[in-house]
Amino acid sequence: MWLRDEEPGVTSIGGRLDVLDGRIVDERLHQISERLKARYPGLDHSARRAKALSLAMNPELVLTILEADQPALGLRRPGAAGAAWRGRGAAFPGRRPAQAVP
């Protein structure tokens, strides 16, 4: 792998992978770039793939973006589900939350 600053504000990246790893990287970049269309409407496919590569280096950021763009998927970071349901009895299936006594 190599990185080279080509001009101010632009870095080129290159390298060699075996065929299977190359195909996996290519497919993942394609998938992420497709999900980024709405978020980055001014970027063409190639620029979105570059953005996808940089985002892939920060998995929590990718997850945050996917959660924000696709709330219906119900994606949650580890630990987030517990915080969202704390105090509602969800930790103990079949048990009702405590009721206030009049």
CA nearest to 33, candidates 14, 46, 23: 46
**49 within 8 A of 30, measured Cβ to Cβ:** yes
Phi then psi for 19, rounded to 5 degrees?
A: -60, -45
pLDDT, residue 56, reads 85
The yes-or-no verdict on residue 84 having pLDDT over 70 is: no
State the pLDDT confidence band at 61, using cuts at 50, 70 and 90.
Answer: confident
Please give the average per-residue pLDDT across 73-85, as a whole number: 47
Q: Rounded distance, CA 42 to CA 52, Å?
A: 15
